[in-house]
Structure 1
Amino acid sequence: MFKGVYLRSAGRAAWIAFAGALLATPVYAQKRPAPAVQAQAPTIPSNPDDAFVALRDAARKNDVDRAATLSAALVDYPIPSYVEYFRIKPQMFDSSGLARIDAPDEQVRTFLQRYQGEAIADRMRNDWLLVLGKKRDWANFDAEYPKFMLKDDTQVECYALLSRALKGQNVAAEARAALFDVRYYGEGCVDLISYLAQSQQIQRSDVAFQARQALEQNYTTLAARIAATAPDSRGDSDTLATIVKMARNDPSQAAAYLNASAASLSRDEQGAAWGVVGQYAAKKLAPEAAGYFRRQIDLGGNQWLSDETQEWRVRAALRQGDWRQVRQSIELMRPELRAKDPAWTYWYGRALAADKRPDEARAQYEAIAGQFNFYGQLASEELGNRITLPVRTVVSDAEATAMRTRPGFVRAQKFYDLNLRFEGNREWNWELRGMSDRELIAAADYARRIELLDRAVNTADRTKTEHDFSLRFLMPYRDIMQRATDDVGLDMAWAYGLIRQESRFIMNARSSAGAHGLMQVMPATAKYVARKIGMTDFSPTMMGDPNINILLGTNYMSMVLTDLDSSWTLASAAYNAGPGRPKNWRSSLNRTVEGAIFAETIPFTETRTYVKNVLSNATYYAALMSGRPQSLKDRLGSVAPSSVTTTSLP
């Protein structure tokens, strides 16, 4: 029986040599627990809610003893399913988060029977499938996998494919489709790659590509482990591995090295190398990026390229205004990647239009114009339409209040009261499964009534044919917002669009970086703005007050807008990434570009998504507030080249 990752003593890949030192502490090896240190037992909180939160924290750390002690003190807690789950889960994973082969299977079976149909049972089944896959218990795995409802765990999917492969099925095509984001591989996906390579269902080029994907993302240990799975092969050449490392820091140096080393690479390896160099050059907004990608296309264009490289191939051509290369790059995309994001449908339509193929371009726009997102809006405008709101579906009070008895919503509210949003969102979203559009609107209205504003927005966002945009685009604190935006002459639709993206109207929202409240203002920024507007008594504790949060946030928005030539596109980027970065991005332009191109080519994924969402939101808010059709294109404007100038803004 297949026993995990095989390491061959002969024919070690240059990939393995490259990252071999890192294998001394492998990420995927299951660690033996360290000997217990004698210490005073931690106390159990007297408040049951505090004890429950402590139990949840112990479960997250896979602290078996602490979880057992706390769960024993919560016998009558109102959410027994989670008490039991948090007690069992630490017995299934070790302290580093790896599945244990000595997990308590019978306890898991009892739990699944007791809580069948609930969200937490699906979570438990997800965990158990990782255990069953780890210990190669395929009989139980195959029985449980069809019952796993969400199927949102890449590693579980890898184990499912491995189970089928071990039974003699060819799963190579499905594996290639599943293995595109190395962040979620874990043990199961490395084992799948290993077996498929051993059984010759996939080729050396498949393994080399997977290793290179990991290396591109700087997962060097994972890259080496994947490369080690290919029997009697070298993986990619050491030259290509060096180019990947070099390109991350200095694409031009990598390009020079590639030119000098091309003779040692196959045609496919040269194409892959130019793709990697192009990706990193494009992320640095280097004008040479499009040229690197042209060399890759000239070598055939269909070499193994990561999804990120394929996307940046389009963006580099957009930034240079090379519509022919935009079209070629999208045509060369992996079909699943191209279909997943409406961006590529829209830009393909634009490329066809530039090629004087209007009928084909129109077909592309029509395919996405009905979507209520950034590119759906832009496609609609290309068809000659302005942005309007769909007909509103209004539900009755009875329909909304009937939602209060839904078990998942009841549990979710308890979690929100404890500020456990992860568990609350899991329960809320589980309850939404299978709802009709009208039921979703009723659930969104119910969420609004009980002031779960983020759930109201997210739930209303799910409808397909019936809609209520007054719930999708809520406007709480409108009196405060009106006063604050009027005082600084700020477009209130833009301010609401930003808040919707920043916090979804969660007043106590905090980011990992310390941003606070509705407008997610950073502490240093809040102090700076307070000083600038003469607020002498400011204290960071005031940021929990919506009046103060909105006052400081809108003043900062006004400051960055003024600092960036009144461009909503640049100012939105500045609010997320700081004002210095969009100035740098702008300075690298060699011509004026439309705002949509500037937004799509922002190097930071978070900021790129942020800018598009904020301005799409703002367009709908403007339509709601004015009752008139709007233009996202007008809001995006254009961005002209500019030299970098310093800014005093934080």
Structure 2
Amino acid sequence: MLKGVYLQRAGRVACVALSCMLLAGSAFAQKRPQPQAAVIPGNPDDAFTALREAARKNDADRANALSATLVDYPIPSYVEYFRIKPQLFDASGLARVDAPDDQVRAFLQRYQGDAIADRMRNDWLLVLGKRHDWNGFDAEYPKFVLKDDTQVECYALLSRVLKGQDVSAQARSTLTDPRYYGEGCVDLIGTLAQGRQMSAADVAYQARLALEQNYVTLAGKIAATLPAPGADGDTLAMVVKMARNDPRQAAAYLAASGAGLSPEQLGAAWGVVGQFAAKKLMPEAVDYYRRQLSLGGNQWLSDDTQEWRVRAALRQGDWSMVRQAIEQMRPELRAKDPAWTYWYGRALKAAGRNDEAQQQFQSIAGQFNFYGQLANEELGNRTVVPPRATVSDADVDSMRARPGFLRAQKFYDLNLRFEGNREWNWELRGMTDRQLLAAAEYARRIELLDRAVNTADRTQAEHDFSLRFLMPYRDLMQRATDDVGLDLAWAYGLIRQESRFIMNARSSAGAHGLMQVMPATARYVARKIGMADFSPSMMGDPNINIVLGTNYLNMVFTDLDSSYTLASAGYNAGPGRPKNWRSSLPRAVEGAIFAETIPFSETRGYVKNVLSNATYYAALMSGRPQSLKARLGTIAPSTVTATNLP
């Protein structure tokens, strides 16, 4: 897990061209926050919530003061964790080398096997790695269960390379997403470069990965691990910056001079230009990518560049390029997402290689997701609900006393969903399908509907889709959708994606309730439907939330030509954006292609999930096979027209 911003490598004073350019203007000095007044809430739950916030800010003094008032609190492990954790990290979120090891060891022994112990071990491994205490790190790392922190993995590789091991292959697999690098990964890159397990070109590539995602400071720190990066690194960095703002300008620069780059580096540069052009839905993106393919250099392409190469070809209808782009994908990237298996099958089918295409479709047709459903339709089938596996009351009752679930319920009562989900999910580890279904049914009975859905989603061979696709508030939903003529299955599919049926769900942007309606949107819709006494506080009422949400969804649906694909995108990103995205289409495209080429990653995933959900809901409600393709429809190009909707 990312622990904040990153420190400059100790002892480095030289500033080379790329790192100077990237680091210029960055402020490295971290200011400690002013101490808070030591107000201790009288209510223990309020004090616990305040303790959690102090731990989040790494305010050790306040955490100590608050924890001292919670001696008999019912979740003592978290009181102790929140007290110790601020002593492991500074106010900037960086690991402290003077962390209290004895307190951590005692905590790990006391709560061995609990979710919070694994969280503490994760934190401590960051401290041990920062400290370069490899004996301590190597002793603790095998006990770290989740292994979901990239920076810890970087420290684990660093420990091995310092013992003389070749970790270059594992490093390439680990260092793929700069969002999660932290100090440990910068340290690893520098050590690998010094030990010649990573070439100057490898380091320049890592810096460019960070720059592509606009982590300018991090890019500079990676570049600074080389004593003298070549001019080609500076040139590629300049191309990335130029392409982010104006791909056409970057393309003109490359076409005019070649920028003095080798063929492989020039291919990488054209790939970057293609990526940013594709994200802007520019038709020239395919031409930029064709230049990249002609030059090679695929090993220096980021995952984003490789994925958008496929999307650009899909949008232009170039099936030959779709096939070629997927074949050249990094194998791990290609295997990670069923999208690329599906589209590869489609490209093979377009080339008349039907038997090979069928093999691709068959390999994912059993998956209960967007591309599994589409692959299943390519095989001549439609979406159906699998047979329902049932569990006994005794199976469900056996879940009541599980300690992780009890802790989770306490956290949910406090509206601390992050900790609640951590405890709930930890308890699910190693469960059989029957146990998972029992846990899901238990969650449903105690009205933890999001946990019911997510737990039922985990089964592999035995399933209960009535738990995966719950339909709470059925009477309210039926009445509200009937009143505006809206498809009930689609509305449920959207709510499942928006809130997982958490009535008090709030987004960081302020969206509220089951249908995650923004306050301004709620006021607009209330005015349009004549709800004169509306106030935003009413959005906590399921009836009001559903009425306003379904009315707004119907407005978006009507505004976007009654297209489920466009309207799902519009509900998430605003109705004006799908209009812009379709305006640049070169021709009519199937809905799946439009969905896959949505520029916003959140909206792209959202549309796929909503329409996949809606198809399953329709199958559950009707008892008949359903077509996801029919629901996706076809999206035709059109001129942008203004919308009055918020």
What TM-score, normalized by structure 2, do the two folds share?
Answer: 0.97
In the TM superposition, what are the counterparts of 1:372-411 in structure 2 within 5 Å? 372-411=368-407
In the TM superposition, what are the counterparts of 1:146-165 in structure 2 within 5 Å? 146-165=142-161
**SS of equivalent to 1:403:** coil
- Bigger mean CA offset, 109-118 vs 392-401: 392-401
CA distance in 1, matches of 2:143, 2:421: 21
The aligned counterpart of 1:592 is 588
Q: What does the per-residue CA deviation read over 1:365-424, in whole Å, with 9 as the maximum and x for residues that have no partner?
A: 011000000000000000000110111101111111210100000000000000000000
Matched, 1:642 2:638: yes
Matched, 1:277 2:273: yes
Q: CA deviation at 1:322?
A: 0.1
Matched, 1:418 2:421: no
CA distance in 1, matches of 2:378, 2:637: 25
The aligned counterpart of 1:114 is 110
Cα pair 1:239 1:261 within 8 Å, conserved:
no
The aligned counterpart of 2:23 is 20
Q: What does the per-residue CA deviation read over 1:271-330, in whole Å, with 9 as the maximum and x for residues that have no partner?
A: 111011000000000000011000000002524011011100000000000000000100
Q: What does the per-residue CA deviation read over 1:105-134, in whole Å, with 9 as the maximum and x for residues that have no partner?
A: 000000000000000000000000000000
The alpha-carbon distance between structure 1 residues 584 and 32, as it changes in their structure 2 partners (threshold 3 A), is closer
**SS of equivalent to 1:405:** coil
The aligned counterpart of 1:5 is 9
Q: What does the per-residue CA deviation read over 1:165-216, in whole Å, with 9 as the maximum and x for residues that have no partner?
A: 0000000000000001100000000000000000001111110110000111
CA distance in 1, matches of 2:108, 2:516: 40
CA distance in 1, matches of 2:461, 2:500: 23
The alpha-carbon distance between structure 1 residues 240 and 261, as it changes in their structure 2 partners (threshold 3 A), is farther
The alpha-carbon distance between structure 1 residues 63 and 459, as it changes in their structure 2 partners (threshold 3 A), is same
Cα pair 1:122 1:149 within 8 Å, conserved:
yes
In the TM superposition, what are the counterparts of 1:522-561 in structure 2 within 5 Å? 522-561=518-557
2:225 to 213, 224, 229: 229
Q: CA deviation at 1:33?
A: 5.3
In the TM superposition, what are the counterparts of 1:229-378 in structure 2 within 5 Å? 229-234=225-230, 236-378=232-374
Q: What does the per-residue CA deviation read over 1:130-155, in whole Å, with 9 as the maximum and x for residues that have no partner?
A: 00000000001000000000000000
Q: In structure 2, what residue type is equivalent to 1:54?
A: A
CA distance in 2, matches of 1:326, 1:9: 47
**SS of equivalent to 2:399:** helix
Q: What does the per-residue CA deviation read over 1:478-532, in whole Å, with 9 as the maximum and x for residues that have no partner?
A: 0000000011111000000000000000000000111000000011111111111
Cα pair 1:526 1:552 within 8 Å, conserved:
yes
Q: CA deviation at 1:257?
A: 1.2
Q: In structure 2, what residue type is equivalent to 1:25?
A: F
Q: CA deviation at 1:253?
A: 0.8
Cα pair 1:440 1:463 within 8 Å, conserved:
yes
2:188 to 189, 192, 199: 192
Cα pair 1:62 1:90 within 8 Å, conserved:
yes
Percentage of matched positions with identical amino acids: 78
- Bigger mean CA offset, 314-323 vs 241-250: 241-250
Cα pair 1:4 1:191 within 8 Å, conserved:
no
Q: CA deviation at 1:261?
A: 2.8
The aligned counterpart of 1:449 is 445
The alpha-carbon distance between structure 1 residues 417 and 235, as it changes in their structure 2 partners (threshold 3 A), is farther
Q: CA deviation at 1:15?
A: 1.3
Cα pair 1:564 1:570 within 8 Å, conserved:
yes
Matched, 1:216 2:212: yes
Q: Which runs of 4+ in 1 moved over 4 A?
A: 6-10, 31-34
CA distance in 1, matches of 2:13, 2:502: 56
CA distance in 1, matches of 2:166, 2:11: 23
Matched, 1:69 2:73: no
The aligned counterpart of 2:4 is none
Cα pair 2:263 2:297 within 8 Å, conserved:
no
Cα pair 1:508 1:517 within 8 Å, conserved:
yes
CA distance in 2, matches of 1:233, 1:18: 12
**SS of equivalent to 2:618:** helix
Matched, 1:133 2:129: yes
Q: CA deviation at 1:437?
A: 0.4
What TM-score, normalized by structure 1, do the two folds share?
Answer: 0.97
Cα pair 1:209 1:304 within 8 Å, conserved:
yes
CA distance in 2, matches of 1:91, 1:335: 41
Q: CA deviation at 1:234?
A: 2.5
CA distance in 2, matches of 1:255, 1:202: 29
- Bigger mean CA offset, 254-263 vs 207-216: 254-263
2:614 to 602, 613, 618: 618
Q: In structure 2, what residue type is equivalent to 1:406?
A: R
Q: CA deviation at 1:9?
A: 6.3
**SS of equivalent to 1:536:** coil
Q: What does the per-residue CA deviation read over 1:428-456, in whole Å, with 9 as the maximum and x for residues that have no partner?
A: 00000000000000000000000000000
Cα pair 1:271 1:303 within 8 Å, conserved:
no
CA distance in 2, matches of 1:292, 1:116: 55
2:509 to 507, 513, 526: 513
Q: What does the per-residue CA deviation read over 1:598-640, in whole Å, with 9 as the maximum and x for residues that have no partner?
A: 0000000000000000000000000000000000000000000
Q: What does the per-residue CA deviation read over 1:220-250, in whole Å, with 9 as the maximum and x for residues that have no partner?
A: 1111110111244327432221111011111
CA distance in 2, matches of 1:569, 1:506: 24
- Gap runs ≥5 in structure 2: 1-6
The alpha-carbon distance between structure 1 residues 215 and 7, as it changes in their structure 2 partners (threshold 3 A), is farther
